Amino acid sequence: MRIRSDITLHRRAELVLFRVDECTYLVELRFWSVILVTVQIDRIRLVTVPVELSAPLRTSDGIHKSREATLIEITDSQGYVGWGENVAPTGVHYVGESHQDSVQTMRDQFIPLLVSREVAVEEMDRNGWWGTEAFNFAKHALESAVWDLHARKENTSLKNILGGQLDSIVVGVVVGMSDTIDEVVAECVQRRNEGYRRIKIKISPGHDIEVVRQVRAVLGDEYLLQVDANGAYTVEHIEHLNQLDAFNVQFIEQPFAHDDIDSHIALARQGRVRVCMDESISSRKDLEQMLDLGACSVVNIKPSRVGGIGEAVAMHNIVRARGVDAWVGGMLETGIGRASCLAVASLPGFTMTPDLSASRRYFARDITDPFEMHDGEIRVPKGPGIGVVPAPDILASDAIRIETVFER
């Protein structure tokens, strides 16, 4: 396979348009040059690593104690290696793409497609490239590895390739549900004392208003506090959720099911609590539709959920042009996935604190050198590509499985 990986044989123009009522306005016209560099892929391997969480994470859809990390290693003819990670959840509860089905689709459908055609890495997010609108986690995993390989060949960081500006990012942390409110409050205090400047609490019916009330009382009025429902509520809960307004939460994330757009619109129009969308938005088309409908005023852009780094950057450009608050969410990524998320989060249009915590928050040991937080911030890797690789002893462990899916 030969990949045209990017950047001066031709110039591409991007028009950023903003539609209001019946009028369309040209907000920005961007030009950039594209070099067509050929890369020959010699091998693709899937590396499966079992990873235990440092503590169980309880959300409205279950308790998560571990995850199986599936890494993608792409090697080219010159020996350069790019890494990606498939972070699809174990079940189908999140967006209908289970980890098992996602990996199977990579193996049987997407990898044969990837090695059978010439492609420019910056075009992998184009409509129809993968032949399906489904399996965004699988697309993201492979595309991330190609971006990493490309940046390593250029001897520059993924952050620089994408146009990121921040060298260090203020990060937040998620606090899951516990058996008692006291346990939630205690963990919030612990995370604040560790240096996190923003906390997001998982909520569900019966585990919401009083929890937020007590957490706010302990953290103080000015501490950044958010709540995430993972779609646990229905339209009957709208007035109940409006009570959150009394506790100065930045927003409620995904209060209703991903396809219950009317309820999101109804809550957002009341204007008492800002609505952030997560699962309801999986593409730039979804994003523009939800913004046009007024279903949300904040957006969580997860590169894995939207199908890749290229799509995440395109969505970033939309929210930036429209003046919409946005941030980068996480999916319990290991250091491989976290590194690429940090590169995306360094873009200037992400205006809110991301869910990209230090490695030890979730893992007893990360697959890569751990990401550490200092003064509430994590540094964006400066090295070539995503700036990290799996630890050699982990790759040599008997606990992992390595499958060569393609070899020239």
Residues 71, 50: contact at Cβ < 8 Å?
no
- Residue 243 included in any domain: yes
385 domain residue, yes or no: no
The answer to whether residues 348 and 203 belong to one domain is yes
**What is the per-residue pLDDT for 119?**
62
Report, as residue numbers or ranges, the catalytic residues: 202, 302
Instruction: Establish if 178 belongs to a structural domain.
Output: yes
Residue 6: the pLDDT is 34
Mean pLDDT, contiguous 10-residue spans, the chain (408 residues): 34 46 44 48 94 74 78 94 94 78 96 83 80 94 96 97 97 94 98 97 97 98 97 98 98 98 98 97 97 98 96 98 97 96 98 96 93 97 98 93 95
Q: Where are the alpha helices (DSSP H) in 260-371?
A: 261-270, 284-293, 303-306, 309-322, 335-345
Residues 15, 128: Cα–Cα separation, whole Å: 20
- Clarify whether residues 130 and 262 are in a common domain: no
In this structure, are residues 137 and 305 in contact, taking their beta carbons and an 8 Å threshold? Answer: yes
**pLDDT given for residue 128 in this prediction:** 82
Residue that is written with structure tokens 């591409």 in the block: 12
Same domain, 202 and 313: yes
Whether residue 362 sits in one domain with residue 231: yes
Asked if 232 and 94 sit in the same domain, the reply is: no
The angle at the Cα of 249, spanning 243 to 250, to the nearest 5 degrees, equals: 130
Say how far residue 217 (Cα) sits from the centre of its chain. Answer: 31
Token output for 160: 């620089």
Q: Which amino acid is at 379?
A: R
Q: DSSP secondary-structure letter at 109?
A: I
Do both 248 and 363 map to the same domain?
yes
Is the domain of 211 the same as that of 357? yes
Q: Are residues 399 and 374 in the same domain?
A: no
pLDDT at 90: 80
The answer to whether residue 256 is domain-embedded is yes
In the prediction, which pLDDT does 8 show?
A: 29
The answer to whether 68 and 253 are in contact (CB under 8 A) is: no
Would 384 be classed as within a structural domain? no
165 plus 233 within the same structural domain: yes
Separation of alpha carbons 137 and 379, rounded Å: 25
pLDDT at 126 (0 to 100): 76
Residue 387 in any domain: the answer is no
Token couple for 393? 């002893």
- At residue 180, the pLDDT reads 96
Q: Give the range of the structural domain holding residue 17, as residue numbers without chain letter.
A: 2-34
pLDDT given at position 27: 43
CB contact at 8 A, 226 and 198: yes
Instruction: Write down the pLDDT at residue 172.
Output: 97
Q: What is the pLDDT of residue 36?
A: 44
Specify the CATH number for the domain of residue 132. Answer: 3.30.390.10
- Give a yes or no: residue 310 inside a domain: yes
DSSP conformational letter for 121:
G
- pLDDT score, position 202: 96
- Domains contained in the chain, number: 3
| Dihedral sign, Cα of residue 137, residue 152, residue 171, residue 243 | negative
* DSSP class of 266: H
With both helix axes pointing from N to C terminus, report the angle between 284-293 and 309-322 in degrees, rounded to the nearest 10. 30
Say yes or no: 117 and 260 in one domain.
Answer: no
Domain co-membership, 89 together with 216: no
- What is the reported pLDDT for 93? 62
On whether the CB atoms of residues 201 and 227 are closer than 8 A, the answer is yes
Residues 6 and 77 reside in one and the same domain:
no
Predicted local distance difference test score (pLDDT) of residue 57:
67
- Cβ atoms 248, 280 nearer than 8 A: no
Instruction: Write phi, then psi, for 214 (nearest 5 degrees).
Output: -75, -35
Q: Is residue 245 part of a domain?
A: yes
The answer to whether 390 and 71 have CB atoms below 8 angstroms apart is: yes
pLDDT for the residue numbered 58: 65
